[in-house]
């Protein structure tokens, strides 16, 4: 006799019309009536089709068999004998990640043509454009030097010298070094005409649609001329806005799982994404990826600029999101933590390999 089971790792959602289940591997959702939900529940980990069909009474048997066939056809039910060779990553990352990956594929960006112009016009006409800059105008401010330090190191030297540093001296970083690093990493260098979307920023780091949703918060420990504390970097004013004057290294250690490099430099930069800057323009699931790309762009610019300034950069995503957001006082539904960056005076030579480096013997697990 034939058996069926409910496909594991199904993702469901409620919509005004009822409950829907995502078809694995497809950008398709199947709307389920309460009766179909009951069929799936009774299928469970495996049941004979005859038993499942008859379990609703003879008057419903034909309809239940048709429902079983339909649910099996779309892949919501399956035979227990089916041996799936799904990519191991979905076993490791889970059904939620698989569903997101499926939904985020093959979006129509409408790059050129009249449809793009029409869509842009609709977005702009609806209004509600988020602010391009975030500022705390009521907080004490430290104005940073407008003239950045010259970056005289060659591109080749910076590329060769960039690496993640984990040990720092307790020597202070200068005001000019920090100001230059923040300017190149997070501030606009110039502006351009974005058409219906208005003035757009040109920064060193690439950003989807020039939305530049990344914000930077700086925890200062040892920077000449700047009192220790937590600051928001105002890209509009090229200034630091004081949020909290009592954020010691230990506080950052708690939210970064004790990673010493995250708090033992001269300062730590906690970056966030003001996600609606993206969502206002890009209104499809694939756009959720964009802040990840942008965070990486900013992180690499930070690391290269720090290297050019003679500083040692560090970066990690190993932190407690909620703890970071609590520290910054941001609403995680509107602005969420994305990257932890830090820098200071490096405490070790910048040799590419330790002097005792050797390849491990063949077959060694590492």
What 8-state DSSP symbol labels residue 151? -
Q: Residue 142 is encoded by which pair of tokens?
A: 């430290």
Q: How confident is the model at residue 358 (pLDDT cuts 50, 70, 90)?
A: low
Say which residue the tokens 């260098």 belong to: 189
Q: Which residues contact 359 (CB under 8 A, 6 or more apart)?
A: none
- Predicted confidence (pLDDT) at residue 278 exceeds the cutoff of 70: yes
Extract the runs of DSSP E, i.e. beta strands, from the chain. Answer: 3-6, 12-15, 18-22, 29-32, 47-48, 77-78, 141-143, 190-193, 199-202, 214-220, 229-234, 239-244, 267-274, 312-316, 335-344
Q: How confident is the model at residue 43 (pLDDT cuts 50, 70, 90)?
A: very high
- Predicted confidence (pLDDT) at residue 366 exceeds the cutoff of 60: no
pLDDT digits (tens, 9 = 90+) for 185-212: 999 999 999 888 889 999 999 998 899 9
Lowest mean pLDDT among 160-174, 216-230, 277-291: 277-291
What is this structure's pTM? 0.86
Q: Residue 294 is encoded by which pair of tokens?
A: 């942008």
Residue 6 confidence (pLDDT): 92
3-state helix, strand, coil in the chain (%, to 5): 35, 20, 40
Residue 365 confidence (pLDDT): 56
What 8-state DSSP symbol labels residue 238? T
| Mean pLDDT across 327-346 | 97
Alpha-carbon distances of 128 from 53, 197, 272, 285, 331, rounded to whole Å: 52, 12, 21, 20, 18
Number of residues written out for the chain:
366
CA separation for the pair 88, 92 (Å, rounded): 6
Q: Which residues contact 97 (CB under 8 A, 6 or more apart)?
A: 90
Alpha-carbon distances of 70 from 10, 66, 78, 253, rounded to whole Å: 16, 6, 11, 54
Radius of gyration of the chain (CA): 27
Helical axes 290-308 vs 175-186, angle rounded to 10°: 150
Average pLDDT of the chain, as a whole number: 91
pLDDT digits (tens, 9 = 90+) for 217-264: 999 999 999 999 999 999 999 999 999 999 999 999 999 999 999 999
| Mean pLDDT across 156-176 | 95
């Amino acid at each position: 006799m034939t058996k069926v089971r409910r496909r594991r790792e199904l993702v469901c959602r409620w919509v005004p019309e009822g409950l829907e289940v995502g078809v694995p591997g497809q950008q398709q959702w199947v709307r389920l009536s309460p009766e179909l939900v009951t069929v799936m529940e009774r299928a469970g980990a495996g049941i004979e089709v005859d038993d499942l069909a008859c379990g609703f009474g003879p008057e419903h048997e034909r309809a239940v068999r048709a429902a079983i066939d339909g649910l099996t056809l779309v892949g919501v039910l399956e035979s227990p004998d089916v041996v799936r060779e799904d990519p191991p990553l979905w076993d490791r990352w889970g059904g939620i990640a698989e569903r997101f990956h499926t939904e985020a594929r093959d979006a129509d960006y409408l790059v050129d043509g009249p449809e793009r112009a029409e869509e842009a016009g609709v977005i702009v006409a609806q209004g509600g454009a988020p602010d391009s800059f975030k500022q705390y105008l009521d907080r004490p401010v430290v104005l940073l030097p407008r003239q950045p330090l010259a970056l005289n190191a060659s591109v080749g030297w910076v590329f060769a010298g960039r690496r993640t540093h984990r040990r720092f001296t307790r020597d202070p970083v200068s005001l000019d070094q920090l100001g230059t690093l923040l300017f190149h990493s997070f501030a606009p260098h110039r502006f351009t005409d974005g058409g219906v979307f208005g003035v757009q920023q040109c920064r060193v780091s690439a950003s989807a649609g020039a939305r530049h949703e990344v914000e930077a918060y700086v925890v200062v420990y040892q920077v000449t001329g700047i009192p220790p504390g937590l600051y928001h970097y105002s890209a509009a004013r090229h200034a630091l806005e004081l949020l909290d004057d009592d954020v010691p290294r230990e506080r950052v250690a708690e939210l970064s799982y004790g990673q010493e490099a995250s708090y033992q430099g001269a300062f730590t930069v906690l970056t966030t994404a003001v996600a609606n800057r993206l969502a206002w323009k890009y209104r499809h699931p694939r756009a959720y990826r964009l802040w990840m790309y942008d965070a990486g762009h900013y992180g690499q610019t930070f690391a290269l600029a720090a290297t050019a300034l003679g500083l040692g950069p560090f970066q990690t995503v190993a932190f407690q999101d909620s703890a970071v957001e609590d520290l910054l006082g941001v609403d995680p539904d509107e602005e969420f933590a994305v990257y932890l960056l830090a820098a200071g005076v490096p405490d070790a030579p910048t040799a590419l390999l330790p002097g005792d480096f050797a390849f491990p013997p063949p077959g060694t697990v590492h």
